[in-house]
Structures are given as structure tokens and as C-alpha cells.
Structure 1
Amino acid sequence: MMQVPVKKGPEREMLEFIRSQLRFVEMDVSAHCSARPEAMSRFMERLRDSGAVVPCGVSGGLRYLTAWGPQEAVKIDAMDKAGELTAKRARSYLLELIEGAAAEGVSVDIPTSKPGTDHERKIWQFISAHRHFTNGDVMAAFPENPLETMGFLRALRAAKVVKFWGREKATAFYTVHSPKEQRVAAKDLRSSTEGAIWSAIRIKRRFRPLELHQALLPTRPELSQDEVTRYCRTLNKAGYIKPPKPTKKITCETPFNLVNNTGPLPPHSQRVTVIVDPNEDRISYSPLGQVQ
């Protein structure tokens, strides 16, 4: 396997991903890596020009590439045409290649779709409980073993479990949920009580909880004024809405301005189950992060 110099983090992420695949299409790289399209295109062109990735045949109308060299590309293509490239055989062959690369001093992530240790199980519970997350979120939640933590994230990406979700400025977000799961979750959130209140807030932008309640009553007759006010208090604490002047007590008459309109899905409180050890008077486990 050819040594490839990389200039930036996104390039390293792409290189780690394609090396962990027996074969891949460029669409795989864009789905699982965070580089911007133009940067991804330039890097892939550089890899092709240098011979670090080579064509690996056409199957199902898709043009495949591999990072395992021209000889392996011929073998992989032949296996596919002979109908021998089952998922089990492909993984077995990939593991053989990874073992050979390790003997030559090149470390390649072994794809995994399931946690194998307690540490990995905690990471999985954390990332699966979030619609999306950043590498920084996970590293902050599990600071005690950064190499194992990042290695597990790369292995999940290699198995195509972790996918690139989107970007906000320079921050890349990832998810382990399928588009269908995300659509269902988004629909449920928008149709919830919090979703209805949040939608009204985004429309009005300047409001009082009392006005929101009155506007929502025709379609939400079961909605109480207290529910609206409580949600406004939550949004105020989180910095999504703010009164024009600082106030200690928030009531249904308190005026608010929308100051952080992050999108159509409502911010919401998340309750989780933690395990408390009464012998030591401490929380011994939390699915949202490492407990000290």
C-alpha cells in the first residue's frame, strides 16, 4: 500500500476511510467523510494521479476504486464477476490485506459495526442517543482514552455505520441514524407540543407566551398556558429566546425575542436513565457520557 502525504484533517479522514474499504465508489467517500466537495474532488484526483487508488471494475453500473493496488484490483474485479465477492468473503479478504499492510508498517482501521468493550458500548449509547454529533462531543464525553475512542469512531465509519451529517461553519457533524430514521424523528418532533410552540415562535419572532398560547389554541385546544410558559423558560435558559431586558421572573406576560433560530426542529429536553450507586453516593453510569 502506497504511502500518501496528507495536508489537512479532512484528507486524513478520507485516506483512512478508503484504506479501510476493499473497494469503494466516490459516493461512499462523500457520504461518510466531511471534506467539502471541491476539496474532496481535488484529493481524489491526486490519489488517482499518484496511483494510490486505482480502478477496480464496474458492477451494477457503479465504477469501483481500491487503495490496495493494481494487482489486488484485478483480483477483486475477478471475484466480483465470478459471483464470489459475498459480504463474508469480502471481509475475510479485507482482513487479510489489512494484516499484510500492518506487517509493512501501515495501520488500517478494521471496520466494525458493533461495540466490543464496555468503553465502546458507552460510546455507542452516547452517539446513538443523539441525532447528530461531532468528534469533539464524543472526545469531551470520554476523555480518559482518546486513542481508543477515536479508533472506535473510525472503525464505525469504515463499516459505513457513522455517516457525515452536515457542517456548520468549520464544524463537521456525524450521525449513526439512517435518513429514514431521521425523517421519522423529525416528523415526530415537529408534530409534538414543543414542535408546535417552536414553530409559532419562529413565525412571530417577537412574542409573549400568552400570545403563543392564544395563537395555538384553535389547533391545540388541549395545550395549557403553563406548558407554553414552561417551554419558554427552557428556551430562555438555553439561549434560544431572550427578553428585551433582564428579568428574574418569567411569566406568561414576559416579552421575548427569538435570538437563535437554528431550524424547524424544536430544541427539547432529553431525560436519560442513570445508575446510582448508593454505596458510594455517586452516579456510576450515564449513557450521555463518562462519569468521573
Structure 2
Amino acid sequence: MAQFSYTALSAEAGVPLERTTKLVRGWIRAGAVEELGKAGTNKLMFRVCRTLDEPPAMPRAQTAEGNMWRAMRGLRNAFSPTDIAAHATTDVVKIAASDAQSFCQMLVRAGYLRVARKAAPPRREAIYRLVRDTGPKPPRERRVRAVWDDNLSEFTHLPGDQA
């Protein structure tokens, strides 16, 4: 596209508008895109002024819990801890299957996941299903033995030790 707006690029690339906005701002900082001002449609217009050798880094701090939660939200219907560990591991954050298993068990106790198929050690892992997707931020366990959900700004109590 010779010239584009946030919405035009979003529609053309099939990317959410919020993500497109972050990408374009990163390209502007990197000097690959320049702002042309508002066009007749009153939309802010841009144009590519040079191509980049590497895409600009997106300013998102990765955490193990955040990566696992995003993987669960993407896989939503059926996944094992090994699936979550594989989908959530990046160059920055390494996640072991045992860590994913612990995170899944915590979310089951809090009511975010449901066991779709019980484990039969050592032959097969449990399969989980996401039943309470409250938004993009991962629920977090707090010291008070509760899970804090940043999306709802509320605690969900964890019953006593259950394995």
C-alpha cells in the first residue's frame, strides 16, 4: 500500500486495530514509516519511506504466566500442559511442562479450567478446557491462597491444598 491509515492496514492485513496501531508506531520510531497528516476522510495517513532489515521490537514484557495464559486462550477447547509449554515457550521465556502443569492445576482450583480428560500417569496427561476467559491478563495466585484476576479486579479463593 502506497499510503494507508490504521484501519485500512488493519483490514488489509487481517490484524486487530490495536495491534496495527502499535506496529505503525514502532515503524515510525524506527524511521520506516512517516505520518502524512489527516486526509479528506479525516483519518491519519502514513506512507512507507524505507524498509527495515528487522522488525522493530514490540514493547511487551513476556512472563511465563502471560505466555501460558495467551496459549490457553488461543487453544481454548482442549490442551495438555505439554501443549501449553510448547506454545508458550519463546526465546525470552522458557517454560517446562511441570511449570505448565502447576499453572493448569492452579487454574482448575480457581475455576478457570475444567478437566476434559483425566490423566493416566505415566501413559497420558490430563486434557484441560478453558471455561472462564476473563481477558488478556493472566490470573495470578496470591499469597493469601487466592487468584487475582486483573481483568475483573477480583479475587477467587483457592480451597485448601488439593493436588
Scaled by the length of structure 2, the TM-score of the pair is 0.44
Larger Rg: 1 or 2? Answer: 1
Greater fraction of residues in helix = 1
Scaled by the length of structure 1, the TM-score of the pair is 0.26
Greater fraction of residues in strand = 2
